[in-house]
Amino acid sequence: MDVIDHEQEKTLYELKEFLTSVISNAPYGIVAFDLEGEVTMTNALAVEYLGQKMSVNRFVGKNILELIEGMPLLAGTVETHIDRGRKPFDLPSVQINKQFMSIKGRLISNGTMLMIEDITAQKKAEAELQRANTRLRELDSLKSMFIASMSHELRTPLNSIIGFTGIIIQGLSGDINNEQRKQLKIVKSSAAHLLSLINDVIDVSKIESGKVELSIGRFDLPALLDEVKSTFTPDAEQKGIRLSLETPGGLSIRSDERRAKQVIMNLVSNAVKFTDSGKVEIKAARGDGVVAVSVRDTGIGMRREDLKRLFKAFSRIRVKGMPIKEGTGLGLHLSRKIAELLGGGIRAESSLGKGSEFTFTLPFEYKGEA
């Protein structure tokens, strides 16, 4: 019997030593106190975190309320916990001597255990992030002001260049020779290309900063598609491409007509640009609460891996052996942004050498705030 008692004592001693080691080396402060508030166990981190300059042995045996009396939030919570019925509690942030602690109170068999974690670094990081966000908002405001200013300052002279160059080319200001006409057409084309790039950059910036104002109204989609077809028919005929339109009648849409047209114009423009022979088909079909406008071509197409970066800003897909087509690299990126803004989307399918198909889906009724 004496041997058994000795073995039990040895086991209990080893268990106590093990628990003491675990508590001493825990990555957070631990304080346990009984039903009366007397500290029964602690570790060095807890003594340090609670701002006490004493040993662990001196800390044990003292009343927890006396040790934390200079910490109103923690002291009030613990006092209520002791006097009015023990319940678990969480204090996400308690400031102690310029440090920030997260303190959790949990029930144990003979009292309560506090787990104290130093979150000072986390709080500093949050403060830095808050300052950075404030700075970003200020920069975003400055960017919006710049966009509003440049929208006018850049477009106005370019429109003048395009307009007056067109007048000279037509001979309205006097005769010009063929070489001059050729050079002036290059000037006009380059100015139009630059204006398109500026418009795309400004539109993307407005969308990403939430500055776009939609003009929601009801319009006839077949009429809009017919207008788009008429716009690109001369370019298609010049390249020997057959441009067709298929749409059911009575497709009335409530959305932003100008923005919807902008997306469709870009898709048809790309189809005509990247098709050297064959056809470009524009089709509209009804769906479940949406209309799908597809633009299919028999152009150069693209590889499957290229589809992944097709809608990225300034992305230009290059096909080996083919000349690079003129463009800003923003059209499809902007089109997808607009489509999503209108509650729809764009998907693409393509096969190298066989053509591409882009489908623009748009709700019959715009669901956002008008």
Q: What is the pLDDT of residue 316?
A: 59
Q: What is the pLDDT of residue 1?
A: 45
Q: Which CATH architecture has domain 133-208?
A: Orthogonal Bundle (1.10)
DSSP character at residue 25: T
Q: What is the pLDDT of residue 325?
A: 53
Q: What is the pLDDT of residue 20?
A: 72
For residue 134, CA distances in Å to 130, 137, 206 come to 6, 5, 19
Count of residues in the chain: 370
In which residue ranges of the chain is CATH 3.30.450.20 found?
2-118
Q: Helices marked H in the chain — which ranges?
A: 2-24, 44-49, 56-59, 64-67, 72-83, 120-169, 178-208, 221-238, 257-273, 331-341
Domain 216-363 fold is Heat Shock Protein 90 (3.30.565)
d(CA 193, CA 161): 12
Strand order in the sheet with 355-363: 241-246, 278-286, 290-297, 355-363, 345-351
d(CA 351, CA 1): 87
Name the β-bridge partners of 358: 295, 348
Q: What is the pLDDT of residue 202?
A: 77
Q: Does domain 2-118 have CATH number 3.30.450.20?
A: yes
Q: What 3-state DSSP class applies to 1?
A: coil
Rounded to a whole number of angstroms, the CA Rg of the chain reads: 36
In which residue ranges of the chain is CATH 1.10.287 found?
133-208
Q: What is the pLDDT of residue 367?
A: 85
Q: Which long-range contacts (CB under 8 A, 24 or more apart) does 39-46 make?
A: 39/63, 39/64, 39/67, 40/110, 40/111, 45/116, 46/114, 46/116
- Residue 335 in contact with residue 310, Cβ under 8 Å? no
Q: Any idea what the Cα angle at residue 241 is, between residues 238 and 243, rounded to 5°?
A: 110
pLDDT < 50 regions, the chain: 1, 370
Burial of 212 (0-12, 13-18, 19+ CB in 10 A): middle
Tell me the Ramachandran region of residue 171: left when phi exceeds 0, alpha when psi lies from -120 to 50, beta otherwise.
Answer: left
